[in-house]
Amino acid sequence: MQLLKDRILAEGKYLDNGILRVDSFINHQVDAELMDACGAEFARQFANTHADRILTAEISGIAPALMAAKHLSLPVVYARKHKPITMPDQVYFTVAPSHTKGNMVDLIVSPSYLPRGEKVLIIDDFLASGSTILGLVRLVQAAGAELVGIGTLIEKHFEGGRRSLESLGVPIVSLVCIDSMEEGKIIFRD
C-alpha cells in the first residue's frame, strides 16, 4: 500500500534491534485518515472470509482493527493487558513477548466477546516474530472460535514471523512488507 509506505519513509525511524518507530501516525498519535484507508484495504482483502468479529491486541492494534471493522461492519474485540474488575473471573488468557517492551505481556479476553464457533479475523499493527499474533491465535483456539485471516499494517519480513503463522492455513495480509532496515535504510519488499 503506497500511502503507508510513503508515510513510513517520511516519518518512520529505525531505532536499532529491529525496532521501527511509527508513533507519529500509528501508535501514539494516530492519523485517522491513513488508518481509514488501511481499514478499507483490509476490508477489500478479507471480504470473502465472512468474519463475525475482529480481534486485536491492546493498544497499537486498535486503530487499524477499528477501521477495518468499520468497513466490514463488524465488532472489534481487543485483548486486554490488564484484567479490569468489570471482567468476569473466567477469562481466556495467554502471554506473549513484547519486542518493544522487552518483557512478557498478558493477553486477556472475556468469553462474552469471543463466542465459540464464530469466525475471527485478527488485525494488528506489526508482524515481526509473530509472537503476539500467535498469542491472539491461542485465544481464538481457547474460545473454540475459527480463525479466518490475519492482517497487519507492517510486516518485518526479516524477523520470520510469517513462517510461524503459515501453518495456520489462513490468508495473511500485510499492507507493507519490509525486507530489511540496515544502517537506518528501510528496504520494502515489492
88-135 pLDDT, tens digit per residue, is 899 999 999 876 667 899 999 999 999 999 999 999 999 999 999 999
- pLDDT tens for 174-183 read 999 999 998 7
> Looking at the domain assignment, is residue 85 inside a domain?
no
pLDDT greater at residue 144 or residue 86: 144
CA distances from 150 to 65, 82, 103, 122, 155 (A): 11, 24, 24, 5, 12
> Looking at the domain assignment, is residue 98 inside a domain?
no
Mean pLDDT of 66-89: 94
**pLDDT at residue 66 in the model:** 98
Cβ atoms within 10 Å of 86's Cβ, excluding its own: 6
> Looking at the domain assignment, is residue 92 inside a domain?
no
Buried b (16+ CB within 10 A) or exposed e, 7-29: bbeeebebeeeeebebeebbbee
> Looking at the domain assignment, is residue 70 inside a domain?
yes
Domain count, the chain: 1
- Look up cell 499493527; give the residue: 125
Q: What is the domain range of residue 134? A: 2-78+115-188
> Looking at the domain assignment, is residue 105 inside a domain?
no
> Looking at the domain assignment, is residue 12 inside a domain?
yes
CATH at residue 142: 3.40.50.2020
